[in-house]
Structure 1
Amino acid sequence: MTGKKSFRTGLFPLIAATGALGLALTLSVNAHGEKEPDRWWAPGEGRVFPASLDYDNGHGTLRTLLVGGPMETRGHPFFEPLGPTGRACVTCHQPSDAMSLSVESVQRQWQRTGGKDPLFAAYDGSNCPTLPQDKAESHSLLLQRGLIRIERPWPVRSFNGKPVTPDFRIEVLRDPNGCNSGPHYGPEAGRISVYRRPRPVANMKYLLAVGFPFDPKQGYALPLDPDSGLPQSGNLMADNRSGSLRLQMEDAASSHLQMLKRLTPQQRKRLEDFELRIFTAQQFSKTGGAVDTGGAKAGPARLRDSQAGALGSIGEPVWSEFAGWEKISPEEAAKLTPQQLAFRQSVARGARVFREKTFLITDSAGINSRVGFGNPVRNSCVFCHNMTQMGNDVAPGQVDLGTTTLPFADPWNDLPLFRITCLGRPHPHYGRVIHTYDPGFALTSGRCEDVGKITLQSMRGLSARAPYFSNGLARDLRGVVDYYERRYSIGYTEQEKQDLVNLMSVL
């Protein structure tokens, strides 16, 4: 995988990289020659969130739109520190990072604050609270892969706190960070630690959209929101431990903000209102130009104005926003540089490859099991990334792509390694014994067949929030393509790989 070495050489170019980033902070001028606002939103600083906010990244410019903006953030629960550590929601959901958190931002903030920012709080911003917190090595998973420690109860408990009897046994084979063993951590202590990327909290109407009245991956009716009684999409959390916005907010407030009291109804309402009004996507490509010109119809305004939840095979094809870049008229081509023309045509080809290049999908729970598709099944990327405008899954539910489970995941030695033993039926693809860095959805459902399943993410704003996959497995966009190539032996040509990278860079 491209870039694999950089995850395994300690804090690699941290000093050099953050030194360069510090210079960028001083300059604070974007690609258009305009003064760029400070990239890091600190809790409680009281900035006004504008109606439109641009930040540059390696591939171009991300734009975030706030419907009804601008908005005063002073006193707003998303931007104010609500717990004792000085953290706020915005700490891990930065506007410059598509309302997620990039490794680039993490490293910059470590350099700026000497590791004193609330982001690096011991309880989940370090590899384990028992480590010396003033050392960068104790925060290596966050600094190198953008991973936050997630603590799950063991045995499994449902979202309402009721115990679930799992049909598997979990053992810790390796614990490099100390948070899965000893008197206070690990299965014996009733706590299991896994490490995951923060998920974006923008474009929420798409994440909440429900395309089916049942879960075709599990074969049963969707769970209902305990407040509204409506079906839950299952697309909010990596392990689906919180199916509604209220449950997600309460989970984050108690775990990541360490709030001693519950969010008030007024705070929840303001948080939900903000998250439902914010849309973010790449707006400008360094090579191809604006993504809403020359026949393309992409960008955050398209997300803001489009219907959520449409299946690509029924509505507009997925990434048809770029169809206008496929056949560019001579008059339009004359306005472009050769590089712009070639890049736009590459993006359009990438959209076609994404939809039309089929391959055999094998041994992937949630796809090849319990849904009648068979093993293998031949399809393309849109089989799972099928929601128009967004690229997440209209059919709710979790899928095991192998990103956290051996033999498909990279053999990293800095993550805990668990041995799962199925007590009832064996796993449909791994057998009775499974080795994994993160059991995923199984820590919510208690079912061995769900080991390794992770909720698919949306594909918007990718350029602003590297690395990718739930555990930061892919350092860059090429790493995403390389992983799928390796996992499913797709047979992409070099041109197709670059076309897919160019497509993802403008989403």
Structure 2
Amino acid sequence: MTRRQGRALRSGLAPLLLAAGALCGALAASASAGAEVADERWWAPGEQRVWPEVLEYPNAGGVLRTLLVDGPLDTAGHPFFVPLGTNGRACISCHQPADAMSLSVETVQERWRVTGGRDPIFAAIDGSNCPNLLQGEAASHSMLLNHGVFRIERPWPVTQFNGQPVTPDFEIEVVRDPHGCNSGAEYGPENGRISVYRRPRPVANMKYLIAAGFAYDPKQGLTLPRDPDDGSYLAGNLMSDNRTVNLRLQMQDAARSHMQLMGELTPEQIARIRDFELRIFTAQQAGPGGVPLDSLAAMGGPATLRDSQPGALGSIGVPVFSEFTSWESIPPAEAARLSPAELEWRRSVARGARLFRERTFLISDSAGINSPIGFGNPVRNTCVFCHNMTRMGNDVAPGQVDLGTTTLPFADPMPDFPLFRITCKGAPHPHYGRVILTHDPGFALTTGRCADVGKITLQSLRGLSARAPYFANGSARTLREVIDYYDRRYNIGYTEQERQDLINLMGAL
């Protein structure tokens, strides 16, 4: 039997493993126990595998499923899967199917163990804390190994996506530089280079991420910009800092900065990558013990994402995550066939979805929400205020938001991240004042505006069980830490049961 035939056989067994229930849970707990499993999970650049129409991987929360519309796809020679630059990476390197088309810390650490740190994801350009460190040592890659973040180098002063310079209305100083990529003779603002550290965003369910729900930016009160290629409205959901505004520009940016491509992607390469990215849908398919998420009238899993369309607002028409509403009141005859643990887990997911939609709290001092357009400070709303797109949980309203995850005093302690002092030249920041301390200026490194310091593009909430850690800087290691952060940040006062219900919901997405 050839290696490819072996893979095809194992792929065909996936539905049987899912039906086995407890076996799926055991697989999820031991997915990285053996080299063969690790090799099968990892898609290496240039490997020439066939991507099947249905692809599944166990994880700690159950089973992730990825669907390829009009699949399968022979990846041989495909520009998403072959190295295009000089460091051996391909797009697939940082967008792995087992990690919901992102890259988890678990996978990163496994690649370091298996390859002794020689996998292309550890390339000096951004897979190390700084290119001038000793690259063979794990300590030189601690940001990627511990937080799952890559180094992102931004120009200073700010330059727009079209190459036009921007005169910023703030000054930036380096307060702390633990890795040397924001100071010295080569790096730092004085040398026109600022380094921040961010997670790779998932490349899946893209039709939702490029859908614009408004003709204006409701967070800024400005007319929404148009796509420079086709004139359509831009949703602004592709990059953490919106530094590239459409898929073409995002691909070119990634090829240059992450794969070290010396030239430009060709129109044919861009078209083939775009086609693949728009065909991929991924989400959790089974929960703990193999509980199917599309059972008992529930509509979980990636098929719902594939077959649905983005709404204008997720909180209107089809409520966010209402695919689990049927689990709130499972008929007695059906409930009797479930184990107590299965029954309670399903009910917990349904309660979490209702909490997500209906539990109100006071949102305060969050630029993009409380300013500049005047929702009020504070404003009482729910999680759906920002995570509102039907079935996805990303923000259908264009624009970036500051939830405090990178900016003091709200950010968690992160001594291994750089720390910058921002001083506003004109009007002070509406919530932080004239002087701001931040680990990542975020959207401000794209606009040059002090009022945008700390703003980050909200992510979708699908495939979370497969791609820890969370937030753009990887500061939340678990879903529990995500819930705890919001509880502290906005003084919500969740009970222990409410926390667990929300964790179960997040794990089921």
TM norm structure 1 = 0.94
**Quick one: distance in 1 between partners of 2:469 and 2:335?**
34
How far off is 1:436 after superposition? Answer: 0.2
Give SS of 2:329's match. Answer: coil
Aligned partner of 2:154: which letter?
R
Aligned to 1:56: 58
Q: Pick from 311, 320, 323: which aligns with 1:321? A: 323
Residue 204 of structure 2 corresponds to residue 202 of structure 1: yes
Moved over 3 A (4+): none
**Quick one: distance in 2 between partners of 1:377 and 1:475?**
29
How far off is 1:294 after superposition? Answer: 1.0
Unpaired runs of 5+ residues, structure 2, are 1-29
Q: Pick from 390, 395, 408: which aligns with 1:388? A: 390
Aligned partner of 2:241: which letter?
D
How far off is 1:295 after superposition? Answer: 1.9
Aligned to 2:183: 181
Q: Pick from 449, 453, 456: which aligns with 2:455? A: 453
How far off is 1:371 after superposition? Answer: 2.1
Residue 258 of structure 2 corresponds to residue 248 of structure 1: no
**Quick one: distance in 1 between partners of 2:392 and 2:317?**
13
**Quick one: distance in 2 between partners of 1:334 and 1:90?**
44
Contact persistence 1:485–1:492 (CA under 8 A): yes
How far off is 1:280 after superposition? Answer: 0.2
Give SS of 2:98's match. Answer: helix
Contact persistence 1:147–1:197 (CA under 8 A): yes
**Quick one: distance in 2 between partners of 1:179 and 1:260?**
22
How far off is 1:287 after superposition? Answer: 4.3
Q: Pick from 113, 116, 119: which aligns with 1:117? A: 119
Aligned to 1:407: 409
1:389-436 Cα offsets, whole Å, 9 max, x none, are 100011011000000001111122111100000001000000000000
Give SS of 1:443's match. Answer: helix
Aligned partner of 1:133: which letter?
Q
**Quick one: distance in 2 between partners of 1:449 and 1:288?**
46
Aligned partner of 1:151: which letter?
E
Q: How does 1:215-226 map to 2 (within 5 A)?
A: 215-226=217-228
Aligned to 1:11: none
Contact persistence 2:236–2:398 (CA under 8 A): yes
1:425-482 Cα offsets, whole Å, 9 max, x none, are 0000000000000000000000000000000000000000000000001000001000
Aligned partner of 2:262: which letter?
L
Aligned to 1:12: none
Q: How does 1:89-108 map to 2 (within 5 A)?
A: 89-108=91-110
Aligned to 1:144: 146
Aligned to 2:5: none
Q: Pick from 19, 24, 33: which aligns with 1:23? A: 33
Give SS of 1:149's match. Answer: strand
Aligned to 2:15: none
Q: Pick from 438, 442, 454: which aligns with 2:444? A: 442
1:197-245 Cα offsets, whole Å, 9 max, x none, are 0000100000000100000001101111101011110000000001100
**Quick one: distance in 1 between partners of 2:382 and 2:373?**
17
Give SS of 1:23's match. Answer: coil
Aligned to 1:309: 311
Aligned to 1:14: none
Aligned partner of 2:306: which letter?
R
1:339-359 Cα offsets, whole Å, 9 max, x none, are 000000000000011011100
Give SS of 2:365's match. Answer: coil
Q: Pick from 75, 78, 83: which aligns with 1:76? A: 78
Aligned to 1:332: 334
1:361-410 Cα offsets, whole Å, 9 max, x none, are 00000000022210000000000000001000110110000000011111
Residue 303 of structure 2 corresponds to residue 293 of structure 1: no
Contact persistence 1:41–1:90 (CA under 8 A): yes
Give SS of 2:126's match. Answer: helix
**Quick one: distance in 2 between partners of 1:494 and 1:85?**
47
How far off is 1:85 after superposition? Answer: 0.6
Unpaired runs of 5+ residues, structure 1, are 1-19, 29-35
Aligned to 1:492: 494
Aligned to 2:49: 47
Contact persistence 2:31–2:59 (CA under 8 A): no
**Quick one: distance in 1 between partners of 2:189 and 2:67?**
43
Give SS of 1:151's match. Answer: strand
How far off is 1:312 after superposition? Answer: 2.3
Aligned to 1:503: 505
Give SS of 2:502's match. Answer: helix
Aligned to 1:7: none
**Quick one: distance in 2 between partners of 1:479 and 1:277?**
32
Contact persistence 1:98–1:281 (CA under 8 A): yes
Flag the 1:309–1:183 CA change in 2: closer, same or farther, 3 A: farther
**Quick one: distance in 2 between partners of 1:334 and 1:290?**
17
Contact persistence 1:288–1:343 (CA under 8 A): no
Q: Pick from 262, 265, 278: which aligns with 2:264? A: 262
Contact persistence 2:62–2:290 (CA under 8 A): no
**Quick one: distance in 2 between partners of 1:423 and 1:154?**
16
Aligned to 2:423: 421
Aligned to 2:26: none
**Quick one: distance in 1 between partners of 2:177 and 2:383?**
35
How far off is 1:37 after superposition? Answer: 7.5
How far off is 1:301 after superposition? Answer: 0.3
Contact persistence 1:210–1:309 (CA under 8 A): no
How far off is 1:46 after superposition? Answer: 0.3
**Aligned residue-pair number:** 480
Contact persistence 1:288–1:341 (CA under 8 A): no
Give SS of 1:155's match. Answer: coil
Contact persistence 1:21–1:108 (CA under 8 A): no
How far off is 1:125 after superposition? Answer: 0.1
Aligned to 2:19: none
Contact persistence 1:46–1:74 (CA under 8 A): yes
Give SS of 1:224's match. Answer: coil
